[in-house]
């Protein structure tokens, strides 16, 4: 394999740079074909820097045209520029200004890193290492500088000129050109730099902070889409108010701008005062966006806004600390959604996501700790482990310290580290200092990969009225980490008596136990409760209080009991999942079907549906059996995705067929003529109704017709798309005509096209691969747009477990060939799609070999990017 330069970066090698940059003056001459960037960097040697130490700046794909220090051009021997940057051989040992002029070509920038052009709009993406594609710089997060940015551009091509901070001046230059000057008073790392120039529409609003600062808000977008930005604006204002209330954090500039662009590698970016968004996370109207889209927009708007304090005001010292800002900010956005919507429903959905994305990563070839200690390509570490597990770790901290103790620590964090680039160590220290606790062992969560397995068994002694729990933990080795340490486990729990109410105890020995939490620090503990009048049913890890896999010896009856009586809604949901999972595993293993247990699950589902106290959104989740990929991981090895698919369908039929009549009745009763609102109550009602519809498609001969009718009569995208997805994925007789209808009905809306692509790629029939290939081969298919590519090929690799892993290997080969092709234009998209292979070591032998062959063939390709070759090397172990 020949690749871009190989290099591994280690945390232990961290050292400050010999020179720092204090302030930056940038002048952009933006024009089609070539943009000129003049940079004046005010640079200082750090104390102790030896005379003659060269200044080494990062730079990629830059054409250097001029270079001077304090106004004097440098002679050729005073500097050297190559493909990785610029070295000034013997810089002055005092404050000086380095001036460079470079030419760049945003038009040909298909990587979408640095300055690029999206649908005519010039925009930037600099995190993590994109700024070096704009100018020569110390492109690392511990270099904090103030930025002043001047832009000139054609008035007609780019009437809107935006950068970070506040607008200082703007005006016409008379020759069809105009300019704007922006200044950001807050020192920031270059990854938070942003610039936008283009012909854009906008909506505006204002927000007044608690202390009376008036902030001008604007969302910029393609002309004609303004109305579709209103929900994002509403979400922004609610986020601003929430951060004041919950964390005491106010916004700090006079303007906050958001720009929606249609070519973007990730979801969105928190650039100071100028967030740039993938337009799929901004645009919403009932006819084209689903309830899930509305919720994602609200969440990501909040996430990027919350970064202003956790990420921007306090940033990361180096990229190993990425979860310092990401884990914490995901935790904050999860709390925001919990406060705005239903806490229980949010927790369940987040755990479903964690198990679907992070657990497989942690249990596969790409496992890494939330804070890794080495990397080859930092772009490959924007992972579920850094984000979602990072958030779980912060959540455990809050659970262990209590909300007040957690808030005290956060207050100290903001007070102590504002304006700094810092580390996980400093983050933990504020909680130690504010609460007088020792978090040395807790830190292991950040340093170690893998999902701990926790085993609990119990015994009751009627004679002495004692109840004993034996709890132990174990984390299996992960790549590069053969030995694992024990982690601190907050185990929220409760004991439930025979009548379904909580049970107390008079004494407890053998562990660290409070009213509702056991804290396990060692490998194992034996905890004995005394004064327990009868055998309780225990409920462990309430609210999913730690990211672990739990094994208990609870019986199916115990679980069904918990599903009815647990006071914790998360564990009520979990209990039903566990019952379903145990049944489906038996079915896959070919064991005789346990009719009694199936009947009991059916009855529990019936009760859930009929309950007068549970809300609709919760019911929708409770009526969802574990997905095929989760079942596969629970089986753990020699996975046959087809066998799992068959078993799961059989279980759905067995459990829900007897309820079909009632389900149809509930489906009708849940219908409503109320005008569409994206709020949690209405969305919950639609979620339950659509869940019933999807179950009926599988379990009831009348289901497909009902779904087709829903598709035709729908008045909003949530209902229309739910019907299309149920039919399209199951590939019933209606699938092809309805997909065709959908495509023409919404022709011209690229975000709806993505929905069509995603469903098309998830169809369960054998013809899907050929159809996906045909879609991709169509000359009109936008081959460089990340949203389109991910919707089609990403969905196939990640969400079509049966057809992607076809035994003949055709699914694997298609994806590796796609990766090789896209890698030449956009390595980030290629590397991300390739992670779909992470399940391969767990597959049964034929599929495993086919996957290995496809991956090995990809490895033979010439010139793979560092992004793709890094994933590939780790994938093949
Ligand atoms: N900081 C952003 C994530 C992000 C990372 C890289 C990007 O481009 C390569 C873009 C966005 C966030 O957490 O939202
Ligand atoms: Zn983030």
Return the pLDDT at 604: 98
Residue pLDDT, tens place only, 709-768: 999 999 999 999 999 999 999 999 999 999 999 999 999 999 999 999 999 999 999 999
Residue matched to tokens 């103030």: 146
The number of the ligand 1 atom at minimal distance from the alpha carbon of 304 is: 14
> In sequence order, which residues have a C-beta less than 8 Å from that of residue 358 and are 6 or more positions away?
383, 384, 385, 388, 389, 547
State whether the beta carbon of 265 lies less than 6 angstroms from ligand 1.
yes
Q: How far apart are CA 357 and CA 384, in angstroms?
A: 6
Q: How far apart are CA 307 and CA 743, in angstroms?
A: 37
**Phi, psi angles (nearest 5°) of residue 577:** -60, -45
- 362 CA → ligand 2 middle, Å: 20
Q: Is the model's pLDDT at 3 over the cut of 80?
A: no
Q: How far apart are CA 817 and CA 568, in angstroms?
A: 47
Return the pLDDT at 415: 98
Residue matched to tokens 């010439």: 862
Q: How far apart are CA 352 and CA 358, in angstroms?
A: 10
- 380 CA → ligand 1 middle, Å: 11
The number of the ligand 1 atom at minimal distance from the alpha carbon of 130 is: 9
Is 155 part of the annotated catalytic residue set?
no
Ligand 1 site-directed mutation target among 261, 382, 827, 865, most atoms within 8 Å of CB: 382
What mean pLDDT, rounded, does the chain reach? Answer: 98
Do the beta carbons of residue 263 and residue 786 sit within 8 Å?
yes
Distance of CA 597 to CAs 583, 584, 656, Å? 8, 11, 13
State whether the beta carbon of 270 lies less than 6 angstroms from ligand 1.
yes
State whether the beta carbon of 382 lies less than 6 angstroms from ligand 1.
yes
Q: Which of 60, 127, 298, 304 is catalytic?
A: 304
Return the pLDDT at 2: 44
Return the pLDDT at 6: 67
State whether the beta carbon of 266 lies less than 6 angstroms from ligand 1.
yes
The DSSP secondary structure of 363-376, one letter per residue, reads TSTT---SS-SEES
Q: How far apart are CA 783 and CA 787, in angstroms?
A: 10
Q: How far apart are CA 280 and CA 750, in angstroms?
A: 9
Q: Is the model's pLDDT at 131 over the cut of 90?
A: yes
Return the pLDDT at 593: 85
Query: Above pLDDT 70, what percent of the chain?
Result: 99
Burial 168-192 (b: 16+ CB within 10 A, else e): eeeeeeeeebbbbbbbbebbbbbbb
Give the 3-state DSSP-derived string for 1-36, with helices as H, strands as E and coil as C. CCECCCCCEEHHHCCCCCEEEEEEEEEEECCCCCEE
The residue nearest atom 2 of ligand 1, judged by CA position, is: 269
Q: Please report the ipTM that was assigned to this predicted complex.
A: 0.98
Task: Say whether 430 sits in a helix, a strand or coil.
Answer: helix
**Which H or E run contains 845?**
helix 845-859
What is the band of 842 on the pLDDT scale with cuts at 50, 70, 90?
Answer: very high
State whether the beta carbon of 125 lies less than 6 angstroms from ligand 1.
yes
Q: Is the model's pLDDT at 5 over the cut of 80?
A: no
Alpha helices in 187-290 (DSSP H): 230-247
Do the beta carbons of residue 90 and residue 80 sit within 8 Å?
no
**Cα diameter, the chain:** 96
Q: Going along 91-173, which residue ranges are E strands?
A: 96-104, 114-118, 121-125, 145-154, 160-163, 166-172
R_g over Cα of the chain: 28
Ligand 1 site-directed mutation target among 112, 127, 134, 263, most atoms within 8 Å of CB: 127
Do the beta carbons of residue 201 and residue 222 sit within 8 Å?
yes
Instruction: Give the number of whichever ligand sits closest to the CA of residue 300.
Output: 1
Q: How far apart are CA 293 and CA 231, in angstroms?
A: 11
Do the beta carbons of residue 230 and residue 162 sit within 8 Å?
no
The total of other beta-carbon atoms located within 10 Å of residue 10's CB is 11
> In sequence order, which residues have a C-beta less than 8 Å from that of residue 80 and are 6 or more positions away?
86, 87, 89
* Alpha-carbon dihedral sign for residues 60, 62, 63, 65: negative
- 82 CA → ligand 1 middle, Å: 27
The residue nearest atom 1 of ligand 1, judged by CA position, is: 269
Query: What average pLDDT score do residues 148-177 get?
Result: 98
Residue pLDDT, tens place only, 431-481: 999 999 999 999 999 999 999 999 999 999 999 999 999 999 999 999 999
- 489 CA → ligand 2 middle, Å: 26
Name the token pair of 550.
Answer: 């739990």
Name the token pair of 181.
Answer: 């000057």
Mode of pairing for the β-strands spanning 177-188 and 421-422: unpaired
Q: Among residues 293, 271, 292, 287, which one has the least CA distance to residue 279?
A: 293
Q: Is the model's pLDDT at 4 over the cut of 80?
A: no
Q: Is the model's pLDDT at 66 over the cut of 70?
A: yes
State whether the beta carbon of 269 lies less than 6 angstroms from ligand 1.
yes
Do the beta carbons of residue 295 and residue 718 sit within 8 Å?
no
Q: How far apart are CA 539 and CA 558, in angstroms?
A: 10
**Which H or E run contains 866?**
helix 866-876
**CA-CA-CA-CA dihedral for 475, 479, 483, 486, to nearest 10:** -30
């Amino acid at each position: 394999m020949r690749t871009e330069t190989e290099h591994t970066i280690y945390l232990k090698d961290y050292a400050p740079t010999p020179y720092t940059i204090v302030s930056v003056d940038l002048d952009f001459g933006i024009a089609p074909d070539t943009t000129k960037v003049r940079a004046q960097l005010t640079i200082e040697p750090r104390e102790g820097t030896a005379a003659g130490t060269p200044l080494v700046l990062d730079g990629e794909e830059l054409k250097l045209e001029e270079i001077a220090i304090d106004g004097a051009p440098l002679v050729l021997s005073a500097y050297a520029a190559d493909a990785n940057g610029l070295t000034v051989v013997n810089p002055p040992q005092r404050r000086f200004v380095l001036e460079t002029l470079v030419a760049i070509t945003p038009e040909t920038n298909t990587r979408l890193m640095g300055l690029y052009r999206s649908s005519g709009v010039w925009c930037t993406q600099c995190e993590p290492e994109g700024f070096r594609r704009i100018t020569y710089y110390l492109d690392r997060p511990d270099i904090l500088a103030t930025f002043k940015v001047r832009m000139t551009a054609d008035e007609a091509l780019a009437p809107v000129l935006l950068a970070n901070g506040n607008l200082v001046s703007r005006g016409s230059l008379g020759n069809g050109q105009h300019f704007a000057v922006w200044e950001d008073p807050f020192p920031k790392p270059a990854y938070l730099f942003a610039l936008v120039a283009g012909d854009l529409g906008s909506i505006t609003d204002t927000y007044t902070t608690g202390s009376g600062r008036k902030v001008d808000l604007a969302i910029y977008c393609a002309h004609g889409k303004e109305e579709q930005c209103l929900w994002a604006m509403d979400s922004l204002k609610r986020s601003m108010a929430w951060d004041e209330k919950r964390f005491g954090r106010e916004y700090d500039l006079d303007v906050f701008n958001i720009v929606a662009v249609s070519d973007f590698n990730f979801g969105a970016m928190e650039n100071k005062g100028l967030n740039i968004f993938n337009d799929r996370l901004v645009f919403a109207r009932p006819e084209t966006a689903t309830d899930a889209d509305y919720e994602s927009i609200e969440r990501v708007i909040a996430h990027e806004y919350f970064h202003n304090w956790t990420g921007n005001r306090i940033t990361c010292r180096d990229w190993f600390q990425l979860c310092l800002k990401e884990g914490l900010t995901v935790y904050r956005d999860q709390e925001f959604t919990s406060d705005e919507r239903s806490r229980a429903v949010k927790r369940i959905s987040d755990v479903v996501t964690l198990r679907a994305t992070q657990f497989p990563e942690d249990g596969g070839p790409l496992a890494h700790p939330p804070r890794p200690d080495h990397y080859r390509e930092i772009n490959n570490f924007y992972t579920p482990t850094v984000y979602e597990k990072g958030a779980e770790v912060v959540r455990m901290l809050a659970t262990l310290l209590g909300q007040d103790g957690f808030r005290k620590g956060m207050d100290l964090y903001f007070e102590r580290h504002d304006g700094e680039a810092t580390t996980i160590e400093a983050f933990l220290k504020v909680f130690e200092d504010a609460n007088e606790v020792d978090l040395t062992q807790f830190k292991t969560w950040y340093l170690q990969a893998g999902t701990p397995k926790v085993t609990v068994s119990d015994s009751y002694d009627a004679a002495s009225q004692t109840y004993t729990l034996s709890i132990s933990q174990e984390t299996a080795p992960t790549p590069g980490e053969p030995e694992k340490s024990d982690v601190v486990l907050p185990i929220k729990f409760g004991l439930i008596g025979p009548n379904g109410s909580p049970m107390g105890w008079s004494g407890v020995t053998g562990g660290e136990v409070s009213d509702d939490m056991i804290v396990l620090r060692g490998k194992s503990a034996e905890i004995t409760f005394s004064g327990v009048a009868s055998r309780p049913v225990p409920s462990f890890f309430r609210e999913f209080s730690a990211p672990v896999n739990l094994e208990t010896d609870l019986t199916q009856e115990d679980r069904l009991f918990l599903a009815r009586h647990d006071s914790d809604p998360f564990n009520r949901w979990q209990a039903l999942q566990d019952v379903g999972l145990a049944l489906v595993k038996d079915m896959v293993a070919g064991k005789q079907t346990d009719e009694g247990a199936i009947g009991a699950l059916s009855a529990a589902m019936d009760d859930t549906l009929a309950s007068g106290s549970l809300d609709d959104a919760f019911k929708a989740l409770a009526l969802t059996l574990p997905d095929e990929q989760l079942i596969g991981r629970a089986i753990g090895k020699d996975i046959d995705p087809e066998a799992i698919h068959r078993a799961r369908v059989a279980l759905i039929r067995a459990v829900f067929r007897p309820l079909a009549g009632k389900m149809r009745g509930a489906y009708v009763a849940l219908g409503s003529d109320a005008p569409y609102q994206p709020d949690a109550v209405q969305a919950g009602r639609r979620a339950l109704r659509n869940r019933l519809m999807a179950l009926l498609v599988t379990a009831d001969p009348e289901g497909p017709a009902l779904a087709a009718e829903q598709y035709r009569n729908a008045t909003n995208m949530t209902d229309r798309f739910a019907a299309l997805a149920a039919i399209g994925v199951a590939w019933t007789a209606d699938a092809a005509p309805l997909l065709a209808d959908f495509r023409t009905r919404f022709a011209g809306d690229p975000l709806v096209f993505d929905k069509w692509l995603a469903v098309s790629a998830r169809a369960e029939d054998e013809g899907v691969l050929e159809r996906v290939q045909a879609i991709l081969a169509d000359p009109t298919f936008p081959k460089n747009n990340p949203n389109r590519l991910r919707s089609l090929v990403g969905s196939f690799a990640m969400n079509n477990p049966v057809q992607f892993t076809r035994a003949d290997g055709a699914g694997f080969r298609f994806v590796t060939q796609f990766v090789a092709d896209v890698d030449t234009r956009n390595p980030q998209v290629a590397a991300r799609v390739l992670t779909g292979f992470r399940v391969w070591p767990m597959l049964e032998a034929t599929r495993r070999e086919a996957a290995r062959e496809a991956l090995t063939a990809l490895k033979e390709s010439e010139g793979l990017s560092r992004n793709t070759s890094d994933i590939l090397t780790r994938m093949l172990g």
